[in-house]
Each structure stands twice: as structure tokens, then as C-alpha cells.
Structure 1
Amino acid sequence: MNKSDLKRNYWMLDGRFARKGYDWWWHNFTAVNEKTGEERAFFIEYFTCNPALGEAEPVCGQLTANQEAGRRPSYLMVKCGWWGEEATQLHRFIALRNVSIGHDANGYFVKAEDCSACEKRLTGNVEVSPEDAAAHPEWMCNSGSMSWDIAVDKKVAFNVGYGAGSLFRKLKAFEMYWHAEGMKSLYSGTITANGEKYIVTNERSFGYADKNWGADFTSPWVWLSSCDLVSKKIGKRLEDSVFDIGGGRPKAFGIALNRKLLSDFWYEGKSYEFNFSKFWTLCRTKFDCKETEDKIIWYVRQETTKAIMETQVECDKSKMLLVNYESPDGVKRHNRLWNGGTGSGTVKLWKKHCFHKPELLDEIEAGHIGCEWGEYC
């Protein structure tokens, strides 16, 4: 449902999550090269891990010496990069002792040296030389440079309901939580990537913002979202629409819930939600994700008592990344997690009626789809 809740965007690493937990704020959007006019899809993430284990320097869990000593990761990782030709991910690690994280009347904030994030603005700078990238495999990234100063205007939220509410947050009931405060967001500002300047404008940004936190990740891992939607029914762009699908195999109180997804289609001002935690809606989900020689392909069908949504997406592997994260316990379980921002596909939405066949509300062409798929390997 489209319900803003800035408290769900607060930093969540307290209690047992302080010693074994991660929390990140994620943003992706499209920009245009100032000189060539070429589009490029970018992402920026502020990832925190195990604050109670913080030391004077960031602790990288993939460093052999740390593994042998039993030291678990602890840091702020400023993650950024781009998709498309020569897709790149860059990481900068900062000791959490040198980071200011909290919230005020305007929502969350993260501040560390020349990097910062809050509900309204993102700034940062990451530079990794080829020599450093080769010498530090524990950084889990490519070489390159990227700096940014971006304004954020979040328009539509995906609030998953009581599953990420205050009681279940306090109980640390789930292994992985999700809140999309800006599943449709407008971004504006500038980026410089490998010396090339890019301009971000609201109307062409096709932006998305969410956060995840918890003790570990999910496997399988599924995510699809886009607000670049064109109706086949009316032949026009949908200006007040966005869909968001995420999940895989959540764990509640240590019990795995196999092949469960959460999704919402905000279709021209109305929410069509498919949420397994809202059991009274009788939500049913089927999904299939596969890797071919040159593509990742997703198929998702969800149904409740009120609606049906069928989503088919594909993305060229040549324009995607094998995105890298390590778990709070220091183990890197996701070694083939495909992540992209240039997916394309179709979404069909039906409204259900008593005693009548479902009514096809629309068939929609989707572009600039943020997409993710992977399983532990």
C-alpha cells in the first residue's frame, strides 16, 4: 500500500542486529550524458554492517587475516556504479566510528566525510584505482570513479504492512526486512562517472528508493520495479503508476517461508497489492527466474481475491552486474546475484469480479526496470 512511514527508514541496527546485522539505503535512477545525450542507469547505496563490532578502521570480512582471526565485518560501505555497457560497481569503506547515523524531524541521516544521505539529498565520492582494486579483492569491486550531488523527491511508497511494523521490528522477527519509501521517486542533480558528467532530471530519472535490513539475506533473491510504464490500452505513458516486486524465501522466527514475494502495483492512483503476510487476501504466487546464455528472465504471477498481476521481464547479462555483498557473519554466500537497471518487459493487470471472468484493466510495456535475481552458490 502507498503509505509513507519515515520511521521504517530509520537506522535499525540495535539489539542483536548491532552485532550481527546490516542496514542499507538503496537508490537507482537514470541520467543523461551532458555531451552525448546518452542515457545511463546509476545506483547509489549506503550499506552499514555490525556497528557494535566497529574498530578504528573498517573491517572487511573477505580479508583472509580477518577470517582466520574470527573478525566479522563492520563498516559503512558507500556503494555506487552504473549498468549498461561496461557495468561497474565501486565500493568505499569507512569505519563506523567515523560515521554519524541517526534521525531527526526530517527523517534518517548518514554522514561520513564527503558522503551523506537523507530523505531529500545524496552526496558522495568514490574512487578506486585499478591497482587498488587488484590488490584488495576483499573490497569486492571494480576500479573507477563516481561523485554525485542528487536531490530526491519520493512520490509513492510501498509499505508492506505489519510485517515490518514496530512490534515485529522490536522482536527482530524476520531475518530480512524491506521498506520502499520511494518506489516511485524523482531525482535531479549531477553525477561525474569516470570523468564524464551526467545530468539527472526529474522527468527522465525513473527513480526508485528502498531499504533492507536484518541479520542475513534471502535466497532466492528476487526484485523487479519500474515507473517507466506505457499503457497498451490507451497508448500513453502512465504518469501516476509504478510496480515493485521483491522477496524470495523469507524467514520469520527462524522458519523459512518458501517462495514468497511481496508486490504492489500502484496503477494510476490505486493500489493493487499482493502480500502473502495479509493472509485474508488469499494471496498466491508463482514465479520462475532463469539464466540463459545472454539474459536473465523473470516470470511472476500473483493473485488475490481482488486482482491478478502477471509480470514478464528480461535483461541482457552484458548490461548487468554480479553484485557483491558479504553477510554480517562474514560469509559471502551470494556469488551469482545478478543486478540490473535496464530491464524491459510487460505487466498485465486484471480486476476480479464475483461470478464473472477477471477484467483485464491494462497491459503495460515497462522499461528501465530495476531487476535482481540470484541464489546462494
Structure 2
Amino acid sequence: MANSKTNKRFDQYVLRGRLRQSGFERWRYVFSAFSKFSGQERKFFIELYIVNPGLSPKTALISQKSRLAISESDLQYALAGTESAAHANDELDVRPSYVLVKAGVFGKEGKEINKFLASSQMAFVKNAEVFKVGDCIFGPKSLSGSVSVTSQDLRLRPELLCSVGSMDWELKFEHMIESAPMYRRKGYFWIPVGLKSLFSGSIHLDGLEYVVLPKSSNGYVDKSWGERPNSPYFHLSSSKLTSIISGKPMLNSCFSLEGEFKGKLCASLILDGEKYNVDNFSMFRRDSIIHDCSQISAGTEGEKVHWSVSIHKGKMVIDIDLYCNDKEMFVRDYEMPQGKRCLLKILGGNGTGEIRIYKKIGKNLELLEHANIYEAICEFGQTEEVGKRV
């Protein structure tokens, strides 16, 4: 299915006006691939994170860098045990400005690899309807590019905030199930544009080749932009569900939940072809989502992180429970637009669990469906003010 006319406009860069100096935009693509050598299945991600592009269009400015250039006068102040007025608050005042390509893999030995570029290195190629970011291409139906960070790179530039490694990709994709914007308020916008997407192509991660097959890619695409990313941040999504009742794959089912928006979540669910959208913000609706994320003991398996969600919409109740082994999760870092060395740290992994769908009948609940969930994106994050002074 081709991109709908309604969502086609979101394929183009949207930061405008004041958001170019004080805002972010994030494009995310997630999919599964198999090792060509061992057959191992892994969950990959490719992201484009644009932050304050109008502040420093010719130079990628990373606020996590410990200091700006130190002048001779600054050295004299340091030797005297004081700081110059000009540089006393450099660590707090620097605001990020760049385009970041972030790519990697979830699961055991998961990693993220970052490539920072100046915003002037991002251009729209009109005749091809694609964005070129350095050697990376982001199109409405294709992705290509590469990222690479060596151990020496990381020693010299710890502000890269990523793992050592290399990854390149040549991919095509198609949205099979789309969603309308789920959160559209002043200062923030989120749309899970490809609730269920099919990816195909190939990836090389640290020299090993992986194959992406459409029917098993379990792809997902979303976009968000605004004044700053959510904190706390909560996200769950999957398009691989199998009914426990019938034993059959639920091919026309998928879901995505995200927040927190003023402490609440928004959700877009397609279950057996039925749509259940919950935005939580209409004063005339009684829809609600209760959610939690906690660490639990898993016995001999160590520790797990448990995401729980209960959705109440009309006469329907939908309960979701997902789990990730803590040893198969890692933290991804995103600089916040306001600077001050403030990071959004997102703990993420590839989860499994269950979903139950009930119908309210009087004071009782009738179970309509009970299914296993696989290949789920499970994330929770909060901001950390690295540069905060006590």
C-alpha cells in the first residue's frame, strides 16, 4: 500500500519558524533482519534526529562537549583558581545544533552508532523526493547510508555518546497499516505513520551481513517533532501477534503507544481489523490508559523490566504486559534542545509478552482475544541534567 495522501506531507522536513532555533524532529525506522551466516534474527533501528538546525547551520555543535575553546586569558583565570566571566558557564549555555544519524541493533550486545553533521549538510532532492544527509538517503520508500565510529574516534570525542562499530544499509519499505496523527498539540506532534511496515534489503553490522525479508521484517515507522522530546518517555509497539485462542498469526493487528503527554499516553491499535485510538485529551471522552514500567526479578534469568498497560475505551478493556531481560537492553542518549548538557536517556529493548482484549458486560468482562506479542519495541526514558551544578 502506498503512502496515503493524508500522511504524504509528513515525509518532508517540517521544522519551521522558532522551532529551527529551539526544537527537534525525530524520524525512526525499526525492523528485523536475519544473519546471512548464522540465521540469527536481530532487531535493527535507523533514526534521524534534528535539533535546533538554525542555531549553527555550518557546524555541528554538540553541547556534551566538555568546554568550548580555551583562550590564554581563560588559562590565567584557571591558574589563579577562578573562571573567566566569558567562559564560567560555557558548559551550561551551549545549545546543540546538528543533524544526527543514529543506527544500531537491540538485544544482547546491542549498540548505537552516531554520525553528527551540520544542518547545512541536509538537503531535499526535489526530483527524487528524498532527503540527503551526508552519504545517507531518507526517502518515502527507501533508506540507504552508513555510520562508523572507531575506538580512536571515541577516545578523542567522547561526546559522540555511542558505541564503537560500523553499519551500512540499503533498504526499501512500504507502509501496510498507517495511522493518523495521535498527538497534535502546541509544542509537540507524534504520528506512528507506519504502524505496520514491510522492509526489504540488506545490512552490514561490523562486517557481518544481515538480510531483511518483507514478511518477517515486523517493521515500524514513526515521526515526532516539537519544542522538546517527552520526559518521562514511554513507548511500546509491535506488529507481530499470534492468537493463543486460535493459534494463528494476527496478520491484521498492530499497536503503538507513546507518551508521556502531561503524564498520559496516546495509543493507536488495530486488533483483528478493529481500530482503537485513544488520545486521552478530549473532555467529552472517558477513554483512559493506565501504565507502569518497573524492574522485577526473573529468578535464574536475572532481572527483567516489565511494561504494563491497561486501556479502557467504551465497553472495551485492553491489557498489555511486555517484558525485556535487563541484560539485553541498553541506553540511547539524545541531547535536549534547551542545552545545559541535558540528555534524554532512553532504556530500550526487544520485548515479548501478551495482550488480552475484553468486552464489558455489566460488571463482568468477557475475554474476546488473548494473544502473544513478539518483537516489541519497549522503551522508557527520563532526562538527566549532566551539567547541573549543585
TM-score norm. by structure 2 comes to 0.85
- Does the residue aligned with 1:65 lie in a helix, a strand or coil? coil
Q: Distance in 2 between matches of 1:286 and 1:99?
A: 40
Q: Deviations over 1:252-301 (max 9, x none)?
A: xxxxx2x2011122012220122202443311221111134622211111
Q: Deviations over 1:166-188 (max 9, x none)?
A: xx5xxxx13x3211110110000
> 1:112-191 maps to which residues of 2 (within 5 A)?
112-161=133-182, 163-164=183-184, 168=185, 173-174=186-187, 176-191=188-203
Of 289, 293, 296, the residue aligned with 1:289 is 293
Does residue 367 of the first structure (1) align with residue 367 of the second (2)? Answer: no
| Aligned-partner residue type, residue 136 of structure 1 | R
- Does the residue aligned with 2:114 lie in a helix, a strand or coil? strand
| Aligned-partner residue type, residue 291 of structure 2 | F
Q: Distance in 2 between matches of 1:217 and 1:35?
A: 38
Match of 1:275 in 2: 279
Match of 2:51 in 1: 49
- Does the residue aligned with 2:60 lie in a helix, a strand or coil? coil
* Structure 2 residues not aligned, in runs of 5+: 69-88, 297-301, 385-390
1:10 deviation in Å?
3.1
Q: Contact between 1:152 and 1:185, CA under 8 Å: does it hold in 2?
A: yes
- Does the residue aligned with 2:383 lie in a helix, a strand or coil? coil
Q: Distance in 2 between matches of 1:327 and 1:30?
A: 29
How many pairs are equivalent?
355
Does residue 330 of the first structure (1) align with residue 332 of the second (2)? Answer: no
Q: Distance in 1 between matches of 2:342 and 2:379?
A: 16
CA gap 1:30/1:201 in 2 versus in 1, 3 angstroms: same
Does residue 265 of the first structure (1) align with residue 269 of the second (2)? Answer: yes
Match of 1:254 in 2: none
1:37 deviation in Å?
0.6
Q: Distance in 2 between matches of 1:143 and 1:72?
A: 25
Q: Distance in 2 between matches of 1:343 and 1:100?
A: 36
Q: Contact between 2:320 and 2:356, CA under 8 Å: does it hold in 1?
A: yes
> 1:305-344 maps to which residues of 2 (within 5 A)?
305-334=314-343, 336-340=345-349, 342-344=350-352
| Aligned-partner residue type, residue 363 of structure 1 | H
1:127 deviation in Å?
0.7
Q: Distance in 1 between matches of 2:206 and 2:167?
A: 6
| Aligned-partner residue type, residue 230 of structure 1 | T
- Does the residue aligned with 2:67 lie in a helix, a strand or coil? helix
| Aligned-partner residue type, residue 82 of structure 1 | V
CA gap 1:332/1:218 in 2 versus in 1, 3 angstroms: farther
1:134 deviation in Å?
2.5
Q: Contact between 2:100 and 2:114, CA under 8 Å: does it hold in 1?
A: yes
1:321 deviation in Å?
1.6
> 1:106-117 maps to which residues of 2 (within 5 A)?
109-117=130-138
Q: Deviations over 1:49-97 (max 9, x none)?
A: 1111124221111112247173321111000000122111000011111
Q: Contact between 2:23 and 2:228, CA under 8 Å: does it hold in 1?
A: yes
> 1:177-256 maps to which residues of 2 (within 5 A)?
177-248=189-260, 250=261
Q: Contact between 2:335 and 2:344, CA under 8 Å: does it hold in 1?
A: no
Match of 1:100 in 2: 123
Query: Which segment drifts farther, 277-286 or 322-331?
Result: 277-286
1:9 deviation in Å?
4.1
Q: Deviations over 1:176-207 (max 9, x none)?
A: 32111101100000000000000000011111
| Aligned-partner residue type, residue 33 of structure 1 | S
* Structure 1 vs Structure 2 CA RMSD: 2.2
Q: Distance in 2 between matches of 1:73 and 1:221?
A: 20
Q: Distance in 2 between matches of 1:265 and 1:246?
A: 12
Q: Contact between 2:255 and 2:267, CA under 8 Å: does it hold in 1?
A: yes
Match of 1:15 in 2: 17
- Does the residue aligned with 1:97 lie in a helix, a strand or coil? helix
| Aligned-partner residue type, residue 39 of structure 2 | G
Of 23, 26, 38, the residue aligned with 1:24 is 26
